[in-house]
């Protein structure tokens, strides 16, 4: 993997994680039957994974190898 690809992957992780944190703050999500607010780590990890995946897809579409 080129350095540019790794850079965009890291940027995707950061933006996705920030999006997950924003989602957690803006939505009154509850987890299961406990009635408590969902842990912040769940949307942050999912957001980072999706952000990394989308950044790799965009890099692949922009410059196929």
For 32-61, how does the pLDDT look when each residue is reduced to its tens digit (9 = 90+)? 555 666 778 888 899 999 999 998 888 888
Residue 39, phi then psi, degrees to nearest 5: -60, 145
Give pLDDT, residue 17: 92
Give pLDDT, residue 35: 60
Q: Is the pTM of this model over 0.85?
A: no
pLDDT at 4 over 80: no
Q: What angle do CA 24, 26, 29 make, to 5 degrees?
A: 55
pLDDT at 30 over 80: no
> Would you call 61 helix, strand, or coil by DSSP?
helix
Q: Which two tokens stand for residue 2?
A: 């080129």
């Amino acid at each position: 993997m080129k350095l540019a690809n790794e850079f965009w992957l890291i940027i995707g992780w950061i933006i996705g994680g920030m999006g997950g944190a924003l989602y957690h703050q803006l939505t009154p999500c509850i987890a299961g039957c406990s009635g408590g607010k969902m842990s912040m780590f769940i949307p942050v990890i999912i957001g980072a994974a999706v952000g990394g995946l989308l950044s790799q897809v965009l890099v692949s579409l922009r410059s196929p190898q």
